[in-house]
Structure 1
Amino acid sequence: MMGIVFGTSGWRGILCEDFIMDNVRVVIRAIADHLIASGEQHKGVIVGCDTRFMGQRFACEAARVLAGAGVKVYLCERDTPTPVISFEILRRHAAGAVNFTASHNPPEYNGVKFSPSWGGPALPETTKDIEQRANRMLGAPSCATLSLEEASSRGLLERIDPRQAYLKALEEKVDFDAIAHLGKVALNPLYGTGRGYLDEPLKQRGIPYIMINDRLDPYFGGQPPEPSESHIPDFIALVKNDPAIRLGLATDGDADRFGILDSDGSFIEPNYIIALLLNYLIRVRKLEGGVARSVATSHLVDAVARKHGIPVFETPVGFKYIGELISQDKIIIGGEESAGLTIKGHVPEKDGILACFLVAEMVAREGKSIRELLERLYAEVGRFITRRDNLKLSPQLETEYADKITNLPAEVAGVKVKEVIRIDGTKLLLEDGSWVLFRKSGTEPVVRLYGEAATEARLAEVMAAGRKFIMG
């Protein structure tokens, strides 16, 4: 094993390879030592997991290690969505949370995500400290632990179910009375933690719904638990073949990402959902503030912001940067093209459950389909079409990449480069309003190529030019 490395959402690895119990104990002990060093250990730590293999087992072992270090643990009784864990940190004024999740990754992965006391994903300075502590302990004797029974008897362990508190708080942020007039809704938690969260508010109000993939399955039905168009063909077919369904609402494995289907079964890109909700929250909800988006997210968001005269905060990829702005109460909504968003007054973490219900509220109150709402928005601010491709690099191309990205072209697809943005990857803004972004993966020989333009034809030109620049 090369060592413990925290990415944008914690440390992830493949089960039975690097993600093994000994390494998990080391990472959890490193988190405990980080909290002790910061003097926050007395506040307690939420411990939860998603529905992956060994999730509950890992969570219980984490509780034993934390308790062995003298840190109080609030152990979730069942698999729990990531945004709910974030909510519980804030509700209990806890020191943070340890969450065993690999989010939308394939089933052979698991991960440890640490969230500090402010409720969002840990910032780089925090994860770097935990990473260094963990790597110093690799190969050392086993960490001291307490049994769950002894931890409980010493007052160091409390079992919790944060579901009802979260759902009650959600009622303050979503107009469920409006949703009650929407009509039939289709739900798809993708065998993940959204079970009991997507359906319960509808069930309580007698709102008609149909739900699929709502049982525990660590294989996630043979697909990664990601609510993207390519991974939910059964859900698309369900909505398409039932004319009574007004919306399809899906969440990923840990319910921090969302997937939206219009009434005809068509998949709506997250980029467009973020922009539509921004417009809705300003125009209908009358919320005030700016908007945050990652560098890879559509400039349709910017066009809506210009229309309403509000500032745009462009962030690196990684929701922690958007979460900071939510915590500082600077923005109405923050979102990423990878289907994460949250809003003013909510948790500083991606929340796919909230996103789904906000879309349902918007469609119900506007009385139009998502496609109709999007066409109306295009008529007001202009059309934006986005795409993302993964470019796999040969060893030679990987060696050449650094030189290429240093010596950028003066124009792309016949249009001059107006500005270069390097806050995360390399983004070229063109004079006609289109743009292209190159982001190299930190874990594999892949460059993520993003592009946006006003028409499909122009986008095809921009993407082809971007591909040619990288691949030669």
Structure 2
Amino acid sequence: MTKKTIETKPYPDQKPGTSGLRKRVKVYQQPNYVENYIQSIFDCLEGFEGKTLVIGGDGRFYNETAIQKAIKIAAANGFGKVLVGQNGLLSTPAASNIIRRYEAFGGLVLSASHNPGGPEGDFGIKYNVANGGPAPERITDAVFQRTQVIEQYQIIEAPDLDLGAIGTQTVGEMSVEVIDPVADYAELMAELFDFDAICDLFSSGFTMTFDALHAVTGPYAHEILENRLGAPAGTVVNGTPSPDFGNGHPDPNLVYCKDMYDALMQPDGPDFGAASDGDGDRNLIIGRGRFVTPSDSLALLAANAHLAPAYSKGIAGIARSMPTSAAADRVAEKRGIEMHETPTGWKFFGNLLDAGRVTICGEESAGTGSDHVREKDGLWAVLLWLNIVAVRKQSVDEIVTEHWAAYGRNYYTRHDYEEVESDVANAIMDDLRGKLDGLPGTQINGAEVSSADDFSYTDPVDGSTAHKQGIRIVFKDGSRVVIRMSGTGTVGATLRVYLERYEPPAGQHDLETQTALAQQIEIAESLSQIRARTGRTSPSVIT
């Protein structure tokens, strides 16, 4: 085994987005593309000599190839040990847990989350720091700057490792331990939740379906739901990870999980349905006859968390991303606990969690989690829902309608316009920014604007700031329109339009969502002209 220094040239497009660097697989397959990016990460870190690095991914196409490269580069740069999931698999929350549990220096998470896989699909690399959470912007900005000037990378010239064999191997002077990707995570879930109560729920005849979407949560769900909690075999469907996600789209929403949704809407359907995404950090929750929006799910989990052992003494506070509905705010206000509004991106929750300011966090994009790790966690959300149902002995529909009767309902939807030409998307956003100062006090489609801004955030823990995080237009009646560009796509730009209005506890809670938000939908188009300027007749996805 020989350590080598390889000459290289920079790529101009290695700027990480909200969740790491995501590109088409073919981009990553360019000579030295992976090597450049990983070496740039290591070049921006200090003090890792002899320390442990965690590596794993969601099993998508190119996962094992990139992991073999990452291990050899880590060895050449002086890491003392790598912990890697068997067959290269680790869900994102499981990787966060392992970083924390084994006090690793950090970790590389190889995933493009909910984006499609396969040779024509997407791939991604994200660096997580020692608290288990995504690297903050000061690190990702430095990494990008380094990618623009990199001239060489270090690598050990050695045969590929056997990632299927649990145990210890070596690369140069560095040890590589291949670990069971599920065991530590399953033990953590058993510490957080009342597994006996959930077992009793299943033994009582409660029925459930969990769609792993041919992604990484399949092995986790089989072990926890079927093996440990006693859910019948077959509860987990599409449970074997596939490099192209079964030629599907691993995004747990009502478009890609329509069959499950249709089954849950039948009178004789399962009691409970859930799904997770490519890397296991997102979730979809559906009860018989009741889809639970991610924003409502965050509020409901926060309001009922005390029913699970880990949160029995209550929660310190809640944090949500700015585009997420204000449903959780009403829980925080009623409970007298802290409430924080942050930019989109789980990294913005890390300081709040580390400081003990909040316990539960969530984003409208189907991500919820708590202080047990520093990533959103799809199976965690599913298990907390099961714990709540088991203790309350009510259906999901009953729990949701009782919540609205106590707190009111925030009608909420998101309209995505995907793969918009970047120049067009940027022009739309720039034009909206130019209108903001003149909007307060004006009427738009019969609604009076009370405030309008481009959201900025100052971290209350370390004072760091983030600007241009999304355009907010708030109306006198409390409704709002939010428009922002997503940082998770790989082609063109995704424009996301978020629409919300509040109905008080005694109000009407049974309207169809798009009907309830018809005025806000028209206001958004009147302001942005997205459909007119992109030529789209409708959003790509409505959630």
Relative to the length of structure 2, the TM-score reads 0.80
> Are the aligned partners of 1:68 and 1:146 in contact in 2 as well (CA < 8 Å)?
no
Instruction: Report matched runs for 1:301-340 at 5 Å.
Output: 301-340=328-367
Q: Does 1:227 align with 2:252?
A: yes
Paired AA for residue 416 in structure 2: N
Match of 1:145 among 151, 156, 168: 156
Q: Cα deviation per residue 1:53-85 (whole Å; 9 max; x = unaligned)?
A: 121121111101111112132222231100000
Q: Does 1:469 align with 2:517?
A: no
Deviation at 1:398, TM superposition (A): 4.5
> Are the aligned partners of 1:186 and 1:239 in contact in 2 as well (CA < 8 Å)?
no
Partner of 1:186: 209
Partner of 2:176: 157
> Are the aligned partners of 1:438 and 1:449 in contact in 2 as well (CA < 8 Å)?
yes
Match of 1:428 among 473, 479, 482: 473
| CA–CA separation in structure 1 for the residues paired with 2:425 and 2:301 | 40
Q: Cα deviation per residue 1:306-325 (whole Å; 9 max; x = unaligned)?
A: 11122210000001111321
Partner of 2:276: 251
Partner of 2:300: 276
Instruction: Report matched runs for 1:322-361 at 5 Å.
Output: 322-344=349-371, 346-361=372-387
Instruction: Report matched runs for 1:66-465 at 5 Å.
Output: 66-72=74-80, 73-78=82-87, 79-107=89-117, 108-137=121-150, 140=151, 143-147=154-158, 151-152=170-171, 154-182=173-201, 183-202=206-225, 203-208=227-232, 210-240=235-265, 243=268, 245-264=270-289, 266-282=290-306, 285-344=312-371, 346-391=372-417, 392=420, 398-399=426-427, 401-408=429-436, 409-410=439-440, 411-421=443-453, 422-423=455-456, 424-441=469-486, 444-454=492-502, 456=513, 457=515, 459-465=517-523
Deviation at 1:405, TM superposition (A): 1.9
Moved more, 225-234 or 363-372: 363-372
Paired AA for residue 251 in structure 1: S
Deviation at 1:175, TM superposition (A): 1.4
| CA–CA separation in structure 2 for the residues paired with 1:356 and 1:226 | 16
| CA–CA separation in structure 1 for the residues paired with 2:423 and 2:134 | 33
Q: Helix, strand or coil: the match of 1:250?
A: strand
Q: Does 1:26 align with 2:71?
A: no
| CA–CA separation in structure 2 for the residues paired with 1:296 and 1:93 | 33
| CA–CA separation in structure 2 for the residues paired with 1:263 and 1:397 | 39
| CA–CA separation in structure 1 for the residues paired with 2:339 and 2:425 | 35
Deviation at 1:395, TM superposition (A): 5.4
Q: Helix, strand or coil: the match of 1:231?
A: coil
| CA–CA separation in structure 2 for the residues paired with 1:259 and 1:206 | 21
Q: Cα deviation per residue 1:319-361 (whole Å; 9 max; x = unaligned)?
A: 11113212222112100001111123x0011111111111111
Gaps of 5+ in 2: 1-10, 162-168, 457-468, 504-512, 533-543
Q: Cα deviation per residue 1:408-458 (whole Å; 9 max; x = unaligned)?
A: 323444232223351221112222121111113467354321110136555
Moved more, 280-289 or 353-362: 280-289
Deviation at 1:230, TM superposition (A): 0.3
Moved more, 78-87 or 181-190: 181-190
What root-mean-square deviation, in Å, do the aligned CA atoms of Structure 1 and Structure 2 show?
Answer: 2.4
| Structure with greater helix percent | 1
The 1:397/1:186 distance shift into structure 2, 3 A limit, reads closer
| CA–CA separation in structure 1 for the residues paired with 2:85 and 2:307 | 38
Q: Cα deviation per residue 1:363-421 (whole Å; 9 max; x = unaligned)?
A: 12112222221111111111211011135579567436423323232344423222335
Paired AA for residue 449 in structure 2: V
| CA–CA separation in structure 1 for the residues paired with 2:187 and 2:155 | 38
Q: Helix, strand or coil: the match of 1:429?
A: strand
Deviation at 1:158, TM superposition (A): 2.3
Q: Helix, strand or coil: the match of 1:335?
A: strand
| CA–CA separation in structure 2 for the residues paired with 1:56 and 1:96 | 19
Relative to the length of structure 1, the TM-score reads 0.92
> Are the aligned partners of 2:92 and 2:280 in contact in 1 as well (CA < 8 Å)?
yes
Gaps of 5+ in 1: none
The 1:168/1:396 distance shift into structure 2, 3 A limit, reads closer
| CA–CA separation in structure 1 for the residues paired with 2:211 and 2:286 | 11
| CA–CA separation in structure 1 for the residues paired with 2:405 and 2:329 | 15
| CA–CA separation in structure 2 for the residues paired with 1:283 and 1:178 | 11
